[in-house]
Structure 1
Amino acid sequence: MKASTLYVLVATVGLSAGLYSLPRWVVQNKTKQLGNAPGGRSTATPVSDSMNVVANTGTKDESTIEHNQPLTPGQQKQVETLQQAYATATPATRPAVAQRLVSFFRSASRFDSAAHYTGILAQLAPTEQNYLRAGDQYFEAYGFAVNEKKTAYLGEKTREFYQKALDKNPNLLAAKANMAMTYVNTQTPMQGIMLLREVLQQDPTNELALFNLGMLSMRSGQYSKAIDRFRQILVNDPTNRRAQFYLGVSLVETNQKEEAKTVLADVKANEKDPQIQAAIKELEERVK
């Protein structure tokens, strides 16, 4: 499969939004295989967000920063006002200001900064719900990371908060399935596989765990296993476009041309995203 096609498959919002996708740098680097990427350790002085809301104790490492579009003057003024309010807030008012910062950073697509303040909220009120929310926010930021060092740091924070939520409630299967994906490019990728298998032991039809295992099978070139996982999803949810699409890709990769044509035609008829349409066109060329 062309690296450009795989990037479209994973990065496009329509079919792999949010919690279902691997980090973008993972799929852009087609030479990476499970287990040979750096471990998920943070740097000694991590820059945890694109707005640099965490003070650095040393020289800023530019490789850890997401280069987003700059804020408008109005947005810059707003965030400075909010950060000043947070710095001077009392313990009683600090959570409300932190929540306003979360909302601001999310509206500005600074997901790492939003995760930072969501983590602070969880520390201020360490409940299952707050830990879970922090894990979700860090996992979302992890999915948008574009370099290995930043991804490793955000993956570590994701695991930290999800684990705290799971310590309070072991039945949070979505949290466990999401956390599993952060192990993909650490020194211990099998921990992620084991977590996904644990989810399926508790819930054999869990769509997120099946999907993630299918994606990992694709990434390691085990397309027959991926086909099995996506078929399992479609048994219970026949209209799941994500599963249909990746099933089609896996069928192309295993040279099952006729079925691939049928599956891709179904997705093509229902999916309007131009990037997905372009990816399908490329795949259709391979099954003529």
Structure 2
Amino acid sequence: MNKIRKQQIIIIGAVILLIGFLFTRDIKGLVKEKEETPAATAAPQPVAAQIDLQSVSATAKNLISNATAKEITSLEDAYKSASGAEKLKLGKQLAQKWDDLEQSAPSALYLEQVAQNESSLNNWVLAGERLLKAFDNTQDSLVKPAMLQKANLAFEKAISIDSASADAKTGLGITIVNGMGAPMQGIAMLMDVVKKDPKNFKANMNLGTFALKSGQFDKAVTRFENIIKDIKATPDAYFYLGTAYENLGKNQEAIDAYQHSKKLAANPTLSNFIDKKIAELKK
């Protein structure tokens, strides 16, 4: 196995792990093999309209208990017949219920409807963030691009309300880098957020992950070290720092970072993975 291929496997493995155990969607789904990079600049297909809430909800109900599915169906029936403030209340309740069940797709679509019925900066940002979470969490070839397109539209609507919103600009930048435009345009947007707000956690994390994706491991190390030191020491920041160090061949630094990630995450599955990785690095 050549060095480049090995680096790709390390990066992809790290992202898959974090998708499962660390992130709630801030920045999942960001790392792909380098051969796939040109596809990121292709014009996205208009698939968002093909996704409807009813079918997404029906699919999600197959993944939960019958009792919980019946409870949600009852809430959905009430939602369909409601109007005004009651409909907004039930929409938010359903979004939270689905999110608690770790079913981000129906949760996101309910928040999208809430924002459509009550257009505000906060509602569109919340919808966009949940739609990004759904994009990150699904491997469905139809749902995934639809969620990204919907997230892009939600953040555009948020920016139309407040063009200075760091959350809206960060979210929009993430969607652009992931395929809703030229990647450098999205990175420039995130850089602008960080320039104005150097301690913006989400924007910095995404810039670090994009550096990792593009093989700029030295830049990734600097970004994640600064995040840990000056913003927030999180399990994912330490894990990505370890991944960057591992790709640079700095095994002891990687081990130290992975151990910090393990300690902060306190996740048995992650701990087992890291223990195996550390054992390999010590060989």
Q: Same fold (TM over 0.5)?
A: yes
Aligned pair in 2 of structure 1 residues 171, 35: CA closer, same or farther (>3 Å)? same
TM-score, length-normalised on structure 2?
Answer: 0.81
TM-score, length-normalised on structure 1?
Answer: 0.80
For residues 155 and 101 of structure 1, what CA distance do their matches in structure 2 show? 21
2:55: which partner in 1? 52
1:58: which partner in 2? none
For residues 110 and 266 of structure 1, what CA distance do their matches in structure 2 show? 29
Q: Unmatched 5+ residue regions in structure 2?
A: 1-6
1:79: which partner in 2? 72
Q: Classify the secondary structure of the residue corresponding to 1:184.
A: helix
For residues 268 and 123 of structure 2, what CA distance do their matches in structure 1 show? 37
For residues 30 and 66 of structure 1, what CA distance do their matches in structure 2 show? 29
For residues 200 and 106 of structure 2, what CA distance do their matches in structure 1 show? 31
1:43: which partner in 2? 47
For residues 118 and 203 of structure 2, what CA distance do their matches in structure 1 show? 29
**Aligned runs of 1:1-288 on 2, under 5 Å?**
1=7, 2=9, 5-14=13-22, 17-23=23-29, 30=33, 33-37=36-40, 39-43=43-47, 45-49=49-53, 51-52=54-55, 69-91=62-84, 93-186=86-179, 188-237=182-231, 239-284=233-278, 285-288=280-283
Aligned pair in 2 of structure 1 residues 239, 204: CA closer, same or farther (>3 Å)? closer
For residues 95 and 267 of structure 1, what CA distance do their matches in structure 2 show? 39
Q: Is the 8 A contact 1:22 1:181 kept in 2?
A: no
Aligned pair in 2 of structure 1 residues 287, 148: CA closer, same or farther (>3 Å)? farther
Aligned pair in 2 of structure 1 residues 104, 44: CA closer, same or farther (>3 Å)? closer
Q: Is the 8 A contact 2:98 2:104 kept in 1?
A: yes
Give the letter aligned to residue 85 of structure 1: A
For residues 114 and 130 of structure 2, what CA distance do their matches in structure 1 show? 12
Point out the structure with the larger helix share.
Answer: 2
Q: Is the 8 A contact 1:5 1:279 kept in 2?
A: no
2:4: which partner in 1? none
**1:148: Cα distance to partner?**
4.1
- 1:197-233 deviation digits (Å, cap 9, x = unpaired): 1111212232222211111111122211111211221
Q: Is the 8 A contact 1:139 1:154 kept in 2?
A: yes
Query: Once the two structures are aligned, what percentage of the paired residues are identical?
Result: 23
Give the letter aligned to residue 13 of structure 1: F
Q: Is the 8 A contact 1:40 1:183 kept in 2?
A: no
Aligned pair in 2 of structure 1 residues 211, 103: CA closer, same or farther (>3 Å)? closer
For residues 19 and 175 of structure 1, what CA distance do their matches in structure 2 show? 15
RMSD between superposed Cα atoms in Å: 2.9
For residues 44 and 103 of structure 1, what CA distance do their matches in structure 2 show? 22
